[in-house]
């Protein structure tokens, strides 16, 4: 399955990080604290959310998932993803976003770094140290698997090797390898331990969010319920990059009066 979430090179990522910091700094200047953002990946999805008035969990909307196989493995295949600030929007060049107050963290699971990536990386680190045969078997599945494993061993990040594991390129193959592994029970324990270690509970999650908003980390924030945009006390409004299409603006004016509209430089209420 071709992922809609593409990863860039280090220069692209650094540009996205600078843009994220600029957007978040501007938002904090105007609103007083960081914001949580859910970023639909295209206009069609965003329009459906606007018309329905609901942000729905995956089993209700049937759209593509971020990492369907690994999410299933982590028991996170029916959740909504939020970012602290505009990290996802800038990294993946999403035009649209829904803004939520930081107090919404009282109802969300807050992981201090990307939990999907970290679980995959910890499993590969375990194979590298204790069961190299499994990692070699993964590398032999196909050309892309070999390239991903080679990158893990040869490419440096911050001067160190074994820091990069591009699981999204071989997600199905990795999932199958984990499920079929002779040490599957140990791997599942690694997943559970990683989730526990990375989880920060409220109100400490709010404190962490305020202190780590500009750290460069991409926190993983998970919601397990659909959101009624009309009644949610945490829903603030919208982030829309660039010129707003007429059909989008028509719905905003009709259904979302009083909500915030943030464009990066401008910040206003819909009237």
For residues 89 and 239, is the Cβ–Cβ distance under 8 A?
yes
Task: Write the pLDDT tens digit of every residue in 93-123.
Answer: 899 999 999 999 999 999 998 899 999 999 9
pLDDT in tens, 253-266: 999 999 999 998 77
The residue written with tokens 């649209």 in the block is 96
The H helix count followed by the E strand count for the chain is 12, 11
**What is the mean pLDDT of the segment spanning 78-107?**
93
Please write the tens of the pLDDT for every residue from 143-169: 999 999 999 999 988 789 999 999 999
State the average pLDDT for the chain.
91
pTM across the whole model = 0.87
Chain mean position to CA 220: 6
* 220-223 vs 80-84, strand pairing mode: antiparallel
Q: Where are the domains of the chain?
A: 10-64+75-113+199-269, 115-197
């Amino acid at each position: 399955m071709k992922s809609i979430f593409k990863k860039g090179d280090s220069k692209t990522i650094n540009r996205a990080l600078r843009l994220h910091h600029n957007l978040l700094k501007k938002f904090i200047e105007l609103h007083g604290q960081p914001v949580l953002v859910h970023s639909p990946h295209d206009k069609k999805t965003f329009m459906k959310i606007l018309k329905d008035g609901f942000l729905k969990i995956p089993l209700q909307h049937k759209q593509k998932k971020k990492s369907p196989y690994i999410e299933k493995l982590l028991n996170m295949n029916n959740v909504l993803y939020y970012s602290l600030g505009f990290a996802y929007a800038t990294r993946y060049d999403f035009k649209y976003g829904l803004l939520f107050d930081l107090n919404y963290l009282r109802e969300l699971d807050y992981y201090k770094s990307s939990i999907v990536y970290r679980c995959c990386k910890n499993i590969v680190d375990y194979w590298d140290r204790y069961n190299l045969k499994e990692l070699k078997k993964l590398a032999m599945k196909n050309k892309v698997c070999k390239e991903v494993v080679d990158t893990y061993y040869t490419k440096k990040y911050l001067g160190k090797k074994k820091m990069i594991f591009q699981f999204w390129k071989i997600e199905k193959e990795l999932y199958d390898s984990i499920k079929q592994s002779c040490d599957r029970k140990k791997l599942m324990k690694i997943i559970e331990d990683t989730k526990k270690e990375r989880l920060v509970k409220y109100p400490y999650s709010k404190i962490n969010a305020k202190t780590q908003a500009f750290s460069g980390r991409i926190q993983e924030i998970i919601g397990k319920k659909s959101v009624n945009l009309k009644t949610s006390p945490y829903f603030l409004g919208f982030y829309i990059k660039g010129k707003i299409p007429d059909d989008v603006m028509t719905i905003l004016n009709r259904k979302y009066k009083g909500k915030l509209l943030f464009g990066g430089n401008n910040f206003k209420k819909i009237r």
